[in-house]
Structure 1
Amino acid sequence: MNSTVKENVSKVPEVVLVFWIIKIAATTLGETGGDAVSMSMNLGYLVGTALFAVLFAVAVTAQVSAKRYHPLLYWTTIIATTTVGTTLADFFDRSLGIGYAGGASILFVLLVASLSTWYRTMGSVSIDTVRTKKAEIFYWVTIMFSQTLGTALGDWTADTAGFGYAKGVVVFTMLLVAVVAAYYWTRISRTTLFWTAFILTRPLGAVVGDLLDKPHSSGGLALSRYSASAVLLTLILISLYSFPQMAAQKHH
């Protein structure tokens, strides 16, 4: 009986407006925070990835082991995925010389493989079904790939495709607006739209983060990565405590 109750407890938040506000802030923080460690501290992408990978492993272990939904723990884990995603994507794209297009392509294949395996194993990739440890592991692996892909995609759009950071923000904002429109005016699967929006918020955060902290010569605002990260973290904490989130409810 107790194990059945535990299996039915959701430890992910309900997807409402504040969820998306915090998600975009968290992904932007991942960009500025990841760059602060790898660039401003001059630790490099490999060391930065190793440090954030440890944080990610600790956070995911705590999240999966938790008995109920803890907002601070959940969003700490999200931030951990987005920071390690930033440094990992930069390591692949720049240090290994794969390039943004190559890195994004590889990560897209990994993301699709993760979602496909999850669907074949569990029968659904809806967040409503993330109520077992196995589903949680699929959930966080998928998020990890989506965050890393988002970094590569954001960098490719701003740099290789030549849009720059400001236009990159417009591009991904408009894509998210299209997803919102599809949510209200089409019958496209809500699960498909959720994951599409979830993935798109990461490159949006990447280009916003770069817009904030890259030098003027590169089209950025040249703000301090530490200051930008502190402001974003404050925004996340204020949002969490001002608008408490409920755990996702099972829909019948």
Structure 2
Amino acid sequence: MTPPAPQRETAPTSDRSPHHVQDSAWTKTLLNKVPEVVLLFWVIKILSTTVGETAADFLSENLGLGLPATTAIMSILLAAILIAQFSVRRYVPAVYWLAVVLISVVGTLFSDNLVDNLGVSLWTTTAIFGTCLVLSFVAWYRSEHTLSIHSIVTRRREAFYWLAILFTFALGTSAGDLIAEKLAFGYVPSALVFGGIIALILVAHTMLGLDAVVAFWAAYILTRPFGASMGDYLTATPKDGGLGLGTNATSAIFLIVIIGVVGWFTVQDRTADRAALDEHAGA
């Protein structure tokens, strides 16, 4: 099952050059900073989602750092990698996917802090993060007139993109916990529910003409609670309805797979670069 990819858009005239133009820091033109949406994109996205869930628990509970300290540390690391991401002029697989993994952890921690430390209900956090995500989309569209990830070619669009990504992870954490724990669906039934909805989105896009951008973001949001439910199922004890693999083993296995896939992306990216250079030299 491959969730939909947004259709490509022709960038505005000011966006067509792959080089910087003499413009403000937030509107200078860049190469697209987001990877192609293929099957492996969704695989690594779900894996990073699960790592976000298990890593947050590992750092906070197993290492005894507690939620506030863990959130502060991971937020600093996320800020550092986002600075690196904004600094590069093009999509760099290692930088991009490290940012996704870290933002997954931070989004999870934001939700957990509100629920566990401040006593905010999962109903409320789901509503809060859902509203924040909608507002970020509205601001993004009003500013740029597109939500397509194939047009992330300016600083402003990149800022909107990562803000939306953060809210999708926080929303997915709250919604996933709400369904699996508060409403007592359990981990596997919750994963089946979210997976089923993703499948319906795919059918709606491929057979019923659902807009590609809408389908992409809907699937992107739902992969968070889907991956989190799977992560909880793998790490929870059999008594609690899980497989009992623990956060250590689950995080390590998924991180190894993520590193392998990112390595493959990097090799493919460099191969494409060499092919482009050879073609240009022979022209």
Q: How would you bin the TM-score normalised by the shorter chain?
A: over 0.9
SS of 1:208's partner is: helix
1:21 aligned partner, one-letter code:
V
1:216 CA displacement: 2.2
SS of 1:3's partner is: coil
- Indicate the larger mover: 235-244 or 206-215: 235-244
The 5 Å alignment of 1:105-120 reads 105-120=127-142
**Structure 2 residue ranges without an equivalent (≥5):** 1-16, 23-27, 271-283
Q: Which residue of 2 aligns with 1:173?
A: 195
Report if aligned partners of 1:46, 1:88 keep a CA contact under 8 Å in 2. no
Of the three residues 9, 12, 20, the one matched with 1:3 is 20
Of the three residues 45, 57, 60, the one matched with 2:67 is 45
* TM-score between both structures, scaled by the size of structure 2: 0.83
Larger Rg: 2
Distance of 2:214 and 2:130 partners within structure 1:
15
1:218 aligned partner, one-letter code:
D
Distance of 1:153 and 1:196 partners within structure 2:
14
Per-residue deviation, residues 172-217 of structure 1 (Å, max 9, x unmatched): 1111111111121122111101100110010111111111112222
**Identity of matched residues, %:** 37
Q: Which runs of 4+ in 1 moved over 6 A?
A: none
Report if aligned partners of 2:55, 2:105 keep a CA contact under 8 Å in 1. yes
Return the structure number with greater relative CO, CA threshold 8 A, min gap 6. 1
1:161 aligned partner, one-letter code:
L
Distance of 1:243 and 1:148 partners within structure 2:
27
Distance of 2:184 and 2:165 partners within structure 1:
27
Q: Which residue of 1 aligns with 2:123?
A: 101
The 5 Å alignment of 1:57-206 reads 57-206=79-228
1:4 CA displacement: 3.6
- Indicate the larger mover: 179-188 or 148-157: 179-188
1:143 CA displacement: 0.3
Let me know the Cα RMSD of the aligned residues: 1.7
Distance of 1:163 and 1:32 partners within structure 2:
20
Distance of 2:240 and 2:65 partners within structure 1:
22
Report if aligned partners of 1:14, 1:246 keep a CA contact under 8 Å in 2. no
